[in-house]
Amino acid sequence: MTASSQPIDLGSPEAIQAAFQSLGLAHPPQAARQWKAIADSSVPLDLLEVVWAALQDSLPLVVDPDQALQGFAQFVTSSRSPLAVGSLIEREPETLVKLLHLLSVGDMANRVLVEDPEALDLLRLTDGRPVDCGHLVKEIVNDVELISDRAAIRESLLRHKNRELLRIVYGDIVGMQNVETVAEQLTYLANAICESAFQSALRLLKLKFGLPRSHNGQGVSMAAIGFGEFGGEEQSYSTTLEIAFVYDSDGKTNGERSISNAEFAERLACEFETLLGRQPDSGEIVYDIKSPFRSDRPLQNTRTPISVCGHDELAQHLQTQGRTWHRQAFIKARTVAGDHVFGQQFLDSLQSWVFQRYITWSDIAELQALKRRIERRSQRSGTDHRDVVAGRGGVLDVEFVIQYLQLLNGGDARQARERNTLAAIKELANIAAINFDEQRILSEGYSFLKRIEHRLQVVFGPQSQSLPIEPAEFDRFSQHLGYANRKSQQFRDDYQQRTLLVRKVLDHLLHDAFRDGIETAPEVDLILDPDPSAEYIEQTLAPYGFEKTSIAYERLMDLATERIRFLSTRRCRTFLAAISPSLLKVISNTPSPDETLVNLCRVSDSLGGKGVLWELFSYSPPTLDLYVRLCACSPYLSDMLTSNPGMLDELMDSLLQNKLPSMDQLQIRLNDLCQGADDVDPILHSFKHGQHLAAGVRDILGKDDISDTMAYLSDVAEVCLRQIASMQFDQLVQKYGNPTNRDGSSCGCVMIALGKLGGREPNYHSNFDIVMVYESDGLTSVTSADDGGPRSSLRSVKQEPTQNHHFFSELTQRILQQTNRVGPQGRVFEVAVDKHISGGSGLLAVTLDDFASQFSDASDILAWQTLCRARVIYGAETFAQRTTTIIEDLLTNRVPRDDLAEKIRAERMSLEVNAAESNLKRAPGGTVDIEFIVSGLQLMNAKSDPSILSPGTLDGLERLAGAGYLTSEEASWLMDAYRFLRGVEARLRLMNTRARHDLPS
């Protein structure tokens, strides 16, 4: 006797529970409550008995009778006429069987039927049969086009989607349609919804802004391009669609509120996404729209997740910065909404870029990186074997490898350019890219995996892709796939066998495509990977000492991107990837890897042509090391490169010569640069920066002793000051005539350098003290004289004779103004007239007699010490030699030596006041101590031995040791200490620290 013929009291809960238990339901009490809900829904008793009998016959046939009964009860109670439902079951008992099969699968069908019970009528009408895409698009577009309210449009789209989704699920579950048909129908549905949303968004915007027009008044085409499984016409039940918008040309709309075509396209994408995406007041979405270019920041949009580009702009971006993953994405690209003709023309124009006949080294490198990425993902420990999509041998493995083979073969074989994966597998076999056994394994395996994916999404939700963990749940799911009860082990075995076989074929194909044979560093793959995981970034970059590896990765991507549009980012990225292990190793050895990387980005951006730079570094590792050290240790020098990118060539030339120019060579070069120039300031800045850069780099590399570096910096300053003085002198001669002495001879003048410049020991930021000394008072004259001083052969009709004092004071003033003037690149030098030597009277220039006479006062010991480091750096040779002789005579014969040592000591102690312990200059044991030792010994002993006089500290120590005033050990120790302290000071200057003489805390 069958269960349906058993008499039962439908009003007895105990009897109902017992009956459900006998039918195999897992939760009879719950089932009894659901039956009571049906019985209480105004269904007559006689009809209720019919429904009960039908349930007794049908429930044992479904996989999950509890789920089916729950769904059926909710459907009946939510129907406008439960009586009609009972009558339908009475007329068509087979409908209940189909309905229970549908409801037993998962919540998807249950939710649709409960929210829209009338959807059952459409289901009965179509019986789940496939529909034509054009018919579906036309039906939904026509239904929505008369709706003007945004919320109503969205509601209509959602209703259409759910009804059609129910039809597709029914055809999949009950109709047992194949994977290709189900994917095709899901794609058609997404096509229809997107086209309707696109037209609705266009209609809403037209009311506000009009339609976009080109500059010549022609209409502008716009299209939505689908990517991924949507573009490949293999859409699953997933709610995610990858879409980008393209438009034809620039211009503006023709409405009263006119906006640019670019803004219109962005607003169109926003409106489109609003109609389909998640709303704040509702958790339900039509589709979740995402950009296919989420890893490409220039193509990201701040208003919407949809990328929006002009077709020329996008084509240009892809040609110059497109990567292998971009080409992969466009394999599956197709127009899904909008102007289909325009969209197809745009995609056709990219075919030669996507499928290239000749593969470059950059292509091979990225394809190999793609290959390694697939292998790495599949081989990583802990891979979730339950993941049907991303697991080993899963859906993504097949799709990636097929796209990989399409890129390799699609340039010559057009038939390999199929968007659909199964179609592509077939065509790859036809061109012998794979053999027919491989085709069969991959096609069958892919279809098997996609069927599992579809069923997971129906049973557990549209974003599900992993097999159940719980044994009971796994058993039920295997039954949903058609495996008999208690045959779940068979499904498990089939799944493992299929994925292993697929993986074996894919491993073989990947291995044969490129036989690199060389293990590639993970840093290379990180640069080439379009979307590395956070875990891979951390694993690869953590050993290099970065505080935040995610930020370091972003900066590496900056280095991999050309900022100049016509330069190839692909080439740039490839060469950066090639040097990345060496680059990161050098960066990690710097004091602050993060700061070094920031400076590398800043300097490299300013230089432009980063790809050429990385290519140079690949051939010249020492240059790479130099560049990183420069960016790491010297903001002063790197700022020069940033402001003057052309200096890099000069720097490389100077390093190839392996020595710095002599002073004569510097003077000749500067003269040539300034010849005929109206404004020499930019030339002086550039010249100074170029020479400082060359000296600084050699300093960093340890190629020169600090004494040689300081002497070179002194030479650079000297030739610049000479150039300025000569030019200003000539200009004043044109204005006033040549200065002359009272006897009519030419009046000579000199510039005396003091302190660090006088001793040829300046640093990168040293300020300079000078004194301008002229021969004697007199008047300027247009009459030429002997060679007693610099003069000009230039003549001016507007010469106005003046006193020599006025002439040379104005000359000094002009020199100070030109050197100290702050322009876009700062000062040329910081120069001042020394107050000790000029007598403290505020005079800018003094006669030679006045210069010498002020030293009769012995009260200012610092003036005598300053004089020890005086050196003539500009002026005609005869007067310059005369001035030098007088300086030597002052130091030899006129120094007041009473209590000299005590005065020097007191002066030294006064300089220690307020000096920090970390001050390299004025603190005890600093450079001033050594300089005072030298000047003190010179002042005390020069009368008896003039040979000890020298303006340089290091040369002075050597002379003092040679004359016996210091032992050789004392002199050697002091010289080493001075070199060390000045070397540390030089590095501080290169670091651009605020405190020029203090060690950082």
- Indicate the SS3 state at residue 334: strand
Please check whether residue 811 is in contact with residue 725, taking contact to mean a CB–CB distance below 8 angstroms.
Answer: yes
Which residues are paired to 99 by β-bridges?
none
pLDDT score recorded for residue 361: 64
Residue 796 has what pLDDT? Answer: 45
Give which of 377, 374, 394 is closest to 453, Cα–Cα.
Answer: 394
**More confident of the two residues 584 and 296:** 584
What confidence category does residue 472 fall into, taking pLDDT thresholds of 50, 70 and 90? confident
Check whether 294 has a pLDDT greater than 60.
Answer: yes
Nearest Cα to Cα of residue 330 among 402, 419, 398:
419
Phi (first) and psi of residue 963, to 5 degrees: -90, -5
Over the chain, what is the mean pLDDT? 87
Question: Residues 174-202, buried b or exposed e (16+ Cβ, 10 A)?
Answer: bbebebeebbbbbbbbbbbbbbbbbbbbb
Share of the chain above pLDDT 90, in %: 49
Radius of gyration of the chain (CA): 44
**pLDDT tens-digit readout, 400-441:** 889 989 998 898 899 999 999 999 999 999 998 899 999 999
The stretch 614-642 carries a mean pLDDT of 83
Name the nearest CA neighbour of 228 among 332, 318, 325: 332
Could you tell me which residue, 224 or 998, shows the higher pLDDT? 224
Q: Give the whole-angstrom CA distance, residue 909 versus residue 928.
A: 11
CA–CA distance, 29 with 27 (Å, rounded to integer): 6
Least confident of 63-77, 279-293, 573-587, 703-717: 279-293
**For residues 999 and 543, which has the higher predicted lDDT (pLDDT)?**
543
Q: How far apart are CA 719 and CA 725, in angstroms?
A: 10
Whether the Cβ atoms of residue 866 and residue 759 lie closer than 8 Å to each other:
no
Instruction: Give the span between the Cα atoms of 121 and 188, in whole angstroms.
Output: 21
Report the C-alpha gap between 383 and 381 in whole angstroms. Answer: 6
Q: Which neighbouring-strand residues pair with 749? A: 774
Detail the DSSP E strand segments found in 860-996: 871-875
By three-state DSSP, how is residue 803 classified?
strand
Go through 71-95 and write b for each residue having 16 or more CB atoms within 10 A of its CB, e for each that does not: bbbbbbbebeebeebbebbeeeeeb
List C-alpha distances in Å: 639 to 374, 407, 528, 602.
42, 43, 30, 9
pLDDT of residue 791: 45
The pLDDT assigned to 380 comes to 54
- pLDDT for residue 717 is more than 90: yes
Distance between CA atoms of 328 and 405, rounded to whole angstroms? 10
Per-residue pLDDT at 377: 61
Residues 805-832, mean pLDDT to the nearest whole number: 92
Q: What per-residue confidence (pLDDT) applies to 752?
A: 96
Q: Domain 706-894: what homologous superfamily?
A: Beta Polymerase, domain 2 (3.30.460.10)
Residue 375 has pLDDT above 70, yes or no: no
Q: What pLDDT score does 880 carry?
A: 96
Who wins on pLDDT, 815 or 400?
Answer: 815
What are the pLDDT digits (tens) for 656-692?
A: 667 889 999 999 999 999 998 889 999 999 899 889 8
Give residue-wise pLDDT tens across range 888-917. Answer: 999 999 888 888 888 889 888 888 888 788
Give the per-residue pLDDT at 350. Answer: 95
H or E element in which residue 136 lies: helix 133-144
* Contact in structure between 377 and 510 (CB atoms under 8 Å): no
Cβ-contact 772, 729 below 8 angstroms? no
- Which of helix, strand or coil describes residue 122? helix
Q: How confident is the model at residue 775 (pLDDT cuts 50, 70, 90)?
A: very high
pLDDT at 794: 46
Predicted TM-score of the model (pTM): 0.67
Tokens of 500: 């292993």
CA 421 distance to own-chain centroid: 33
Task: Give the CATH architecture of domain 358-513.
Answer: Up-down Bundle (1.20)
In this structure, of 229-233, 650-654, 766-770, the range with the lowest mean pLDDT score is 650-654
| C-alpha closest to that of 788 among 796, 798, 778, 797 | 778
**What pLDDT shows up at residue 495?**
93
Neighbouring CB atoms inside 10 A of 762's CB total 24
The pLDDT assigned to 515 comes to 52
pLDDT for 1 beyond 60: no
Specify whether domain 521-633 bears CATH 1.20.120.
Answer: yes
Cα 1000 vs. chain centroid, distance in angstroms? 31
Q: How far apart are CA 636 and CA 651, in angstroms?
A: 15
Closest CA to 307 of 293, 319, 317: 293
% of the chain at pLDDT higher than 70: 91
| pLDDT score at 117 | 85
- Specify the residue for token string 């096509």: 191
CA torsion sign for 832, 835, 836, 841 is: positive
CA distance 921 to 996: 9
The per-residue pLDDT for 725 is 96
Residue 916 vs residue 930, higher pLDDT = 930
Mean pLDDT of 259-286: 86
Give φ, ψ of 753 to 5 degrees.
-90, 140
Question: How many Cβ atoms sit within 10 Å of the Cβ of residue 918?
Answer: 13
Angle between helices 488-513 and 436-460 (to 10 degrees): 130
pLDDT at 281: 62
Q: What is the pLDDT of residue 795?
A: 47
Q: What is the pLDDT of residue 669?
A: 93
The architecture that CATH gives domain 897-1001 is Up-down Bundle (1.20)
Q: Tell me, what's the pLDDT at 283?
A: 63
**Identical fold, 176-352 and 521-633:** no
pLDDT at 378 over 80: no
Domain chopping of the chain, boundaries: 176-352, 358-513, 521-633, 706-894, 897-1001
Q: What is the pLDDT of residues 909-927, one digit of tens each?
A: 888 888 788 888 888 988 9
Its sign, for the CA torsion 590, 593, 595, 598, is: positive
Instruction: Report pLDDT digits (tens) over 316-346.
Output: 888 887 888 889 999 999 999 999 999 999 9
Contact at 8 Å (CB) between 651 and 658? no
Contact 108, 462 (CB under 8 A): yes
Mean pLDDT for the stretch of residues 179-185 = 96
Q: Is pLDDT at 115 greater than 50 in this prediction?
A: yes
Tokens 């020029």 label which residue?
A: 996
Could you tell me the pLDDT band of residue 215, with boundaries at 50, 70 and 90? confident
Query: pLDDT tens digit string along 145-165?
Result: 989 899 999 999 999 999 999
- The mean pLDDT of 444-464, rounded to a whole number, is 93
Superfamily classification of domain 176-352 = Beta Polymerase, domain 2 (3.30.460.10)
What is the 3-state secondary structure of 743-783?
CCCECCEEEEEEHHHHCCCCCCCCCEEEEEEECCCCEEECC
